[in-house]
Every structure is written in C-alpha cells, then in structure tokens.
Amino acid sequence: MTQAAVAPLSDLNLVQDKIPPLLQAAQKAPYALPADRSCQALAADIQALDAVLGADLDAPRSEDDPSLLDQGAGAAGDAAIGAVRSTTEGVIPFRGWVRKLTGAERHARAVSSAIAAGTVRRAYLKGLGQSAGCQAPAAPRT
C-alpha cells in the first residue's frame, strides 16, 4: 500500500529504490569465479542473494510462499492496492514523459537490470555448486 501511495514521488524521481551492493557487484561480473569455491562459501553467497532477491524457483514451499489457493484469497486486497496505485499514478499528467525527464524511468531500468544480474549470478553459483557435488543451498534442490 505504501508503494502505491508514493508512486507520484517515484515518478518525479524524488523517491528511489536503492540497489543493494551485492546486486551492484553482480551487475559488474555475474560470471566471475568466486575466490572461495567450497560448498560452504557457495551456500553463503547464494543465501546472501536469496536474502536480497527472495526465494529461488527451487525453494521448498513454506508459509512465506503461499499456495495458489492462498494467493487467490489475497486477490481482493491486491485489487484495492491496485486501485490506490492507479489513482495515485493518475495524479501526474503525461506520466510517461515525466518519468523520462526526471530520470525515474532510467532508474527503474537500472533496478530491473540489477535484479536480473543477481538472478543470473545465483544460478551461476548454483551451477558451480552442482558441478562440485555440493548439496542445497549450494546447488539446486532436486
């Protein structure tokens, strides 16, 4: 709800999501070999990325990761948040141009690029772990 309410401030580039240093490093060298390639070090690196990015696709289901049925129950709340977002985004006329002129669009692309680089880095590290015979989380769960 908070993000929906501050959408106009984001459009004016007055509020920005900070890119974590871990994702900035992943952008610079997503396929760099880690100095320590032990299973423990790979697991620590992957868990650090999980903390920033959220659970990976191979993560087991938990209460923090609801089933489709539970997600459907939250749809009404999501609709309300979407309505607030639409209303607040409509406050600024010519929103697309404003986002380009203020640099908000460029920053949003930088954040998306950092998330993609972090996701690639995590997959690469899991591949290294799998080839070394490591167990999850240093390798994909099977």
CB 52 within 8 A of CB 22: yes
pLDDT in tens, 46-68: 999 999 999 898 888 766 655 44
Cis? peptide before 66, omega within 30° of 0: no
Angstrom CA distances, 46 to 23, 75, 84, 108, 142, stand at: 12, 31, 36, 24, 16
CB 11 within 8 A of CB 92: yes
Instruction: Please tell me the pTM assigned to this model.
Output: 0.65
**Comparison of pLDDT for 70 and 45, the residue scoring more:** 45
* Residue 109 in this model has a pLDDT that exceeds 50: yes
Q: Is 65 helix (H, G, I), strand (E, B) or coil?
A: strand
In this structure, what token pair is assigned to residue 118? 């972090």
> Mean pLDDT over residues 32-42, rounded?
96
Distance of CA 12 to the CA centre of its chain: 22
Q: Which of 21-30, 77-86, 106-115 has the lowest mean pLDDT?
A: 77-86
Helices (H) and strands (E) in the chain, counts: 8, 0
Cα atoms in the 13 Å half-sphere on the side-chain side of 119? 11
pLDDT in tens, 112-135: 899 999 999 999 999 999 999 999
pLDDT in tens, 80-92: 445 444 444 455 5
Q: What is the pLDDT of residue 73?
A: 47
Q: What is the pLDDT of residue 60?
A: 81
